[in-house]
Amino acid sequence: MTPPGPETGGDPLDITRKRWGRPEEKALKRALSQPSLFYWRGALTEELLGKFRLHTPTRHAVACSSGTAALHLAVAATQLQPGDEVIVPPITDMGTVIGILLQQAVPVFADVDARTFNLDPNDVAKKITPKTRAIIAVHLMGNPCDMHALRAIADDCGAALIEDCAQAWGSKYEGQPVGTLGDMACFSFNDFKHIGCGDGGIVATNSAEHAAFLGKFADKGYDRINGVRSPDILAPNYRITELQSAVASAQLDRVVKVALTHHRCGTRLATALGKIPGFNPQSVRRKDYSTYWYLLSRYDAAQFTCTRNEFVENLKVEGIVVGAGYLPAPMYRFPVFLNHSFFGGTWPLRDSGLTSMDYRNVSCPVAEQLLDEMIGIKLHESLNLRWADAVSDGFHRVASRCRIRAQAA
């Protein structure tokens, strides 16, 4: 029996998500028909990397176990020394900063732009010090960062520019695919991203030098190319498996269609919500192309008779599932940062005087305000424009009920 939905005249909000199918099943069977599931020279891993380079035109790509691993690889490839600094936004996943801390470097938080919710280049410039070695541009929710501005800042201070594309499959900056603008770019196949294989990642670069290091750092320092198992660096085991590569490769065949669905539904919703006084969706620069992992919008409680959380509860009554906020707080307010408890309850860098960073004194006012005001709508590949219109209609109905009468008049 076909479930009710747009195609059968049912509820447009009742859409069953379907992520996997015959292509993934066939790819897994191919992997299991092999004598080994090890990644090196594995047919499925090689296929995955080939498809990725077509999607994101770069000379080199290294597959790994997660997007977090990809970011750690990229950070390590910059050859950070203890106490070096890496500039990051405070609205991002913990995976963006884990590698920085593990390499004994210092995450430095720069504020975000109030419209795009991405790194504000003006604040990044203010956070540059002689210790700055890298800037990580997080394309939040698929919205491309201002890469020209960040590239100029990075070049001026000699820092590496790393793109965190975990939420940005298919996004474009001024017509150019994200992941092709920085020194290195990191992608995620986490189960919750546009496409996924449970967990997995890729780091891409045009630098042969970086690529050689990335390959070794993902594999305990082993040099697989030359067949040398005598490490000259300390490195983790971030190897992908043929099973992950099989599903990820099949998913890459769908990525253009998936990204297009996210873009169309996200754009439709953002346009509709932007017409409701009191809502300000994440702004996309005119020449850019966002693939909206989530649609985020600011909520101005002064325009309504209810709080943000109450508005969200009203939406749920309409059958619309949204989230109040994204992160509970900017990353520097997470307990691990406030307590500087990164290693056994301590932070050796700070204790030894290699940094004076005190996250209890960090403040990014725009990020703090944004997180207090955000409402988020999750998108996925099975949605359509009828769904987007139904969601926007629900927002309009709730806004009409909750609007302050004096302003409505």
pLDDT above 60 for 407: no
CA 246, CA 24: separation in Å to the nearest integer? 7
The single residue listed with the structure tokens 């479930």 is 3
Architecture label for domain 22-253: 3-Layer(aba) Sandwich (3.40)
Assigned fold of 255-326+368-408: Aspartate Aminotransferase, domain 1 (3.90.1150)
Reported as a single tens digit per residue, the pLDDT across 97-124 is 999 999 999 999 999 999 999 999 999 9
The reported pLDDT for the residue numbered 7 is 46
Kindly state the tokens that stand for 402.
């909750």
The predicted model gives 16-32 an average pLDDT of: 96
Reported as a single tens digit per residue, the pLDDT across 339-382 is 999 999 999 999 999 999 999 999 999 999 999 999 999 999 99
Task: Find the catalytic residue in 193, 216, 316, 378.
Answer: 193
CA 271 to chain CA mean position, Å = 22
Query: Phi/psi of residue 280, each to 5°?
Result: -135, 90
Q: How far is CA 361 from CA 33, 348, 364, in A?
A: 56, 19, 10
The boundaries of every CATH 3.40.640.10 domain in the chain are 22-253
pLDDT above 80 for 78: yes
Is 131 known to be catalytic? Answer: no
pLDDT above 60 for 405: no
Reported as a single tens digit per residue, the pLDDT across 298-354 is 999 999 999 999 999 999 999 998 999 899 999 999 999 999 999 999 999 999 999
CA 242, CA 44: separation in Å to the nearest integer? 6
Reported as a single tens digit per residue, the pLDDT across 240-266 is 999 999 999 999 999 999 999 999 999
Q: Can you give the pTM of this predicted structure? A: 0.95
CA 394, CA 168: separation in Å to the nearest integer? 27
Grade residue 5 by pLDDT with cuts at 50, 70 and 90.
Answer: very low
The boundaries of every CATH 3.90.1150.10 domain in the chain are 255-326+368-408
pLDDT above 70 for 166: yes
Task: Write the DSSP symbol of residue 195.
Answer: S
3-state SS assignment for residue 330: coil
The predicted model gives 282-298 an average pLDDT of: 97
The reported pLDDT for the residue numbered 10 is 73
CA 320, CA 165: separation in Å to the nearest integer? 28
The single residue listed with the structure tokens 């990335």 is 214
Beta pairing partners, 289? 172
The single residue listed with the structure tokens 């732009």 is 113
pLDDT above 80 for 63: yes
Reported as a single tens digit per residue, the pLDDT across 123-141 is 999 999 999 999 999 999 9
- 290, 171 contact by CB (below 8 A): yes
The reported pLDDT for the residue numbered 9 is 56
The predicted model gives 169-183 an average pLDDT of: 98
Grade residue 6 by pLDDT with cuts at 50, 70 and 90.
Answer: very low
350 CB-contact burial (10 Å; exposed 0-12 / middle 13-18 / buried 19+): middle
How many Cβ atoms sit within 10 Å of the Cβ of residue 141? 26
